[in-house]
Structure 1
Amino acid sequence: MNAIVISSARVAKLAFKDNDLAIANRPILGLEKHSYNGNDITFSKYNETWRELRKLSVIHLFSVKQVASFYPIRRDQLTGSHVELDSWKNYEELEERRFDKVFKECQELAGAFYFGDHFPLLGWIDKLNGMKSRIDNNFRILDYFYQGLIDEHLDPNRPESMRGDILDLLIKLKQDQAAAVPLKWENIKGILMNVFIAGTDTSSSTLVWALLIKHPQAMKKAQEEVRNIVGTKGTVDEVDIQSLPYLKAIIKETLRLFPPVPLSLPKETIDKCTIDGYEIPAKTTVYMNTHAIGLDPEYWENPTEFMPDRFLNSTIDYKGHDYGLLPFGTAEEDAPE
């Protein structure tokens, strides 16, 4: 299997902006079952199904209006004497279902090395060393979990709290046949996998890094900013975040130095293309070293230093348009059409 690793902002732009259509596929490495054979958003092939799933996610699931509607849930989860930053689900529910360990194992399996992915003739080693058995067992438990959630939402007597959540919306889209490409239960389970596995631990790990900063001056400046905005109110609401530029700068700097996934999920070339003068064959796996890109000395001044001020009065953001800061991938590789 051919593979390349992109480790600079300049080459990342050449690859994902100038050759975005040629590097549009995503290979399913290791966790093919967990993606329901590419029926999710993350591992779907670049086709009409992927475009429709992305469109549905942007318009119906993760729109500004929809995310704002979940504010009461986020507020309730943050109410209490303390917050466990690396626990991203209701602890009692996970303890009862005993799925906390299962989700963590899935994340470990997603980052593991599989001989069959890189050397097809050596795929038998994955069976011999127990990796295939671990994948099968982990998938079986998670599939049971997803099916349980679906059954609960299909119950006409389901709790009011389930109405209007992400799964409820997906089921409604399927039942109403509102998608250009009819949704299957495999699509819905695949999207649940994306939400639970890809959209949780990455966020909490970033928060942990941000709050463990050993830079008292930066911490003091952030605390003063929060106190000035919040005043005597006592709590910080989500609307207050827009008025906290230094706190947002700390988050950007944390994502630059400590991206949630140092080596991004791989992409795969559909067609032959040229990157930085090198001809890249079709079916080449393309990795992006987001950690190295965040430390690129050609893009950043004093790249190894923690300097949140670099983002003040700067338009650089982490949404995928600035190729020196790509903690969540590029806008081109994940943008819906």
Structure 2
Amino acid sequence: MVVREMDLLDHQVTLLHPLCLSILCFVFFAYFFIKWLTSPPAATHKSLPPSPPKLPLFGNLHRVGLYPHRSLVPLAQRYGPLMLLHFGSKPVIIVSSVEAAREVMKTHDLVFSSRPKLRITEKLLYDRKDVAAAPYGEYWRKMKSICVLQLLSNKRVQSFRSVREEEVAILIKKIEQSCSSSLPVNLSEMFSSLANDVICRVAFGKKYRGEDGKKFRKLMEDVMRLLGGFSVGEFIPWLAWVNWVNGFDAKANRTAKELDKVIDAIIEDHMMNRDTKEDSNKDFVDILLEIQKENTDSLDTESIKALVLDMFIGGSDTSSTVLEWAMTELIRHPRVMKELQNEVKRIGDGKTEITEDDLQEMYYLKLVIKETLRLHTPFPLLAPRESTQDVKIMGYDIAAGTMLLINAWGLARDPKYWSKPEEFWPERFLNNSVDFRGHHLEFIPFGAGRRSCPGIPFAMPIIETMLANLVKKFEWTLPGEAELENLDIAESIGITARRNNPLFAIATPIPH
């Protein structure tokens, strides 16, 4: 009896196995058949850019890795400077040469001036009402004009000079106080605090101190981490549930809610006190509320929130990242450090500190910053663009709605354009007209064309003043007599290429 039941069970399992196999095959067949029926007819005459083999459903996502700007370089070397990848179901063009960048950012800049619609930017940037993520059109042009003419004009940037110099002096004082203990200074943390405090004072009119300051910095770190994170549901819709399981959606919702609460309180406070401020003391929120008051149709409250957030994200993270890498490379290269100290000493002789008036004469300082921006591009992959119409680039057909990524990091290290590209060598810019303002496409840390970053004039004085005072007042060594060649230079994962670990160094005052 038992033997008979076991034989019966074996028979059922034997029948079940091919049945399951048949059902599975049917499901896969049905999926691909429906996909084939609903796909647009193949246009055999289309000439698409070269593309590596892709996996079903996932496309080429497995080829991207944790550091896309690095992994895309060998792929481009194999498949070409204009390469087609598929992130799940989304076609993505990768630009890896000056010639390709010129067609995208110069010849066809208008076609590629829009941004793809991403859920995370909608959630955190007020339905893309900012400048950085807004789709190209009349609204974006209006917001860009407000930024350039009202918030980041030369006159406005100069009006915040005292804020920048005061915050630099406060940071230098902190470092001086730490010298008596001979303990290492956490420069990464100090640079983040500096950039954060400057932007807070300029945008909101106040700094966040103590526990409030820590909470605010943590909140902004979460924003940057989410914006730079990978949302699998964005590119593979049927895996959108993964964002719920791993907590990505919950984190995004919580961060957006907390952020909105903070900015709401700031705007409410400004609206209560805006009539009592003089023009010279007005911050970004004051200026935007004034524009709104003069023309209520031009700017709603959510647009103000989005613009202020844009200024904060773009200004604070870039400045602190550049300072962090500049000091890393100066410590690693004593010859360059000494050359810069000699220049600062010569120009700042007899002065207690370097001010923005002294910066124009500091040519070597500018070379050091240029080389830092080249070797450590803050945003290695520029913000994604999206084509608004069908267009032909380098002989290839690019369909409307295609996402496009420009590997600025790869361009800045391409041996075709740079001698010894992996070396930190500021002198390469001597008698060299190549600059980072979007005119030379082998060097575009801030982008180029219509969607280039408008905040360069604001960020550079902070970076230059801070760096000049750091080398003027202190000698810098690694803690524990560590060897220079062993200094960790690993990058973090995210939207900006920060150091993966904080930079610690020992400051020794230079006698004057």
Q: TM-score, normalised by structure 1?
A: 0.93
Aligned to 1:5, the other structure's residue is in SS state strand
State the partner residue of 2:311.
195
How far apart, CA to CA, are the structure 1 residues paired with 2:138 and 2:452?
Answer: 14
How far apart, CA to CA, are the structure 1 residues paired with 2:414 and 2:132?
Answer: 27
How far apart, CA to CA, are the structure 2 residues paired with 1:99 and 1:335?
Answer: 24
Deviations 1:214-254 (A, max 9, x none): 11111111111111111101211112111111110110110
How far apart, CA to CA, are the structure 2 residues paired with 1:273 and 1:136?
Answer: 37
Aligned to 1:12, the other structure's residue is in SS state helix
State the partner residue of 2:114.
25
Aligned partners of 2:437 and 2:444 also within 8 Å: yes
How far apart, CA to CA, are the structure 2 residues paired with 1:208 and 1:254?
Answer: 10
Aligned to 1:212, the other structure's residue is in SS state helix
Residue among 56, 73, 93 paired with 2:209? 93
Deviations 1:69-101 (A, max 9, x none): 001111221223136112223475263252111
How far apart, CA to CA, are the structure 1 residues paired with 2:441 and 2:222?
Answer: 31
**Pairwise CA distance, 1:163:** 4.0
State the partner residue of 2:81.
none
Aligned partners of 2:219 and 2:259 also within 8 Å: yes
State the partner residue of 1:108.
225
Task: Tell me the C-alpha RMSD between the 2 structures.
Answer: 2.0
Aligned partners of 1:17 and 1:332 also within 8 Å: no
For residues 1-337 of structure 1, the aligned pairs below 5 Å read 1-29=90-118, 30-80=120-170, 81-82=173-174, 84-87=190-193, 88-90=195-197, 93=209, 95-96=211-212, 98-156=215-273, 160=277, 163-177=281-295, 182-213=298-329, 214-334=332-452
Deviations 1:35-71 (A, max 9, x none): 1111111111111111011111111100011000001
**Pairwise CA distance, 1:136:** 0.4
Aligned to 1:140, the other structure's residue is in SS state helix
How far apart, CA to CA, are the structure 2 residues paired with 1:93 and 1:31?
Answer: 28
How far apart, CA to CA, are the structure 2 residues paired with 1:142 and 1:27?
Answer: 23
How far apart, CA to CA, are the structure 2 residues paired with 1:157 and 1:169?
Answer: 10
How far apart, CA to CA, are the structure 1 residues paired with 2:448 and 2:308?
Answer: 22
How far apart, CA to CA, are the structure 2 residues paired with 1:156 and 1:332?
Answer: 36
- Report the residue type matching 2:310 in the other structure: N
Aligned partners of 1:16 and 1:330 also within 8 Å: yes
How far apart, CA to CA, are the structure 2 residues paired with 1:269 and 1:294?
Answer: 24
Aligned to 2:273, the other structure's residue is in SS state coil
- Report the residue type matching 2:148 in the other structure: V
Aligned partners of 1:34 and 1:193 also within 8 Å: no
Aligned to 2:174, the other structure's residue is in SS state coil
Aligned partners of 1:245 and 1:312 also within 8 Å: no
Q: Number of matched residues?
A: 334
State the partner residue of 2:68.
none
How far apart, CA to CA, are the structure 1 residues paired with 2:275 and 2:348?
Answer: 38
The range that moved more, 270-279 or 246-255, is 270-279
Q: Which has the higher contact order (CA 8 A, sep 6+)?
A: 1
**Pairwise CA distance, 1:202:** 1.5
Q: TM-score, normalised by structure 2?
A: 0.62
Change (3 A) 1:63 1:94: farther
How far apart, CA to CA, are the structure 1 residues paired with 2:450 and 2:264?
Answer: 33
**Pairwise CA distance, 1:141:** 0.5
**Pairwise CA distance, 1:277:** 2.1
Aligned partners of 2:446 and 2:452 also within 8 Å: no
Deviations 1:88-142 (A, max 9, x none): 2347526325211111011111111112221223222212221111100000011
Deviations 1:18-43 (A, max 9, x none): 11011111124323111111111111
**Pairwise CA distance, 1:158:** 8.1
How far apart, CA to CA, are the structure 2 residues paired with 1:157 and 1:175?
Answer: 11
How far apart, CA to CA, are the structure 1 residues paired with 2:248 and 2:354?
Answer: 45
The range that moved more, 299-308 or 143-152, is 299-308
Deviations 1:161-215 (A, max 9, x none): 994111110110011118xx61011111101111122221111111111011111
How far apart, CA to CA, are the structure 2 residues paired with 1:89 and 1:177?
Answer: 31
How far apart, CA to CA, are the structure 1 residues paired with 2:385 and 2:136?
Answer: 11
How far apart, CA to CA, are the structure 2 residues paired with 1:159 and 1:197?
Answer: 28
Which of the pair is proportionally richer in helix? 2
Question: Which consecutive unaligned segments of at least 5 residues does structure 1 have?
Answer: none
The range that moved more, 274-283 or 90-99, is 90-99
**Pairwise CA distance, 1:332:** 3.6
How far apart, CA to CA, are the structure 2 residues paired with 1:159 and 1:293?
Answer: 50
**Pairwise CA distance, 1:313:** 2.1
Deviations 1:283-331 (A, max 9, x none): 1111111111110112112211211111122221111111011111113
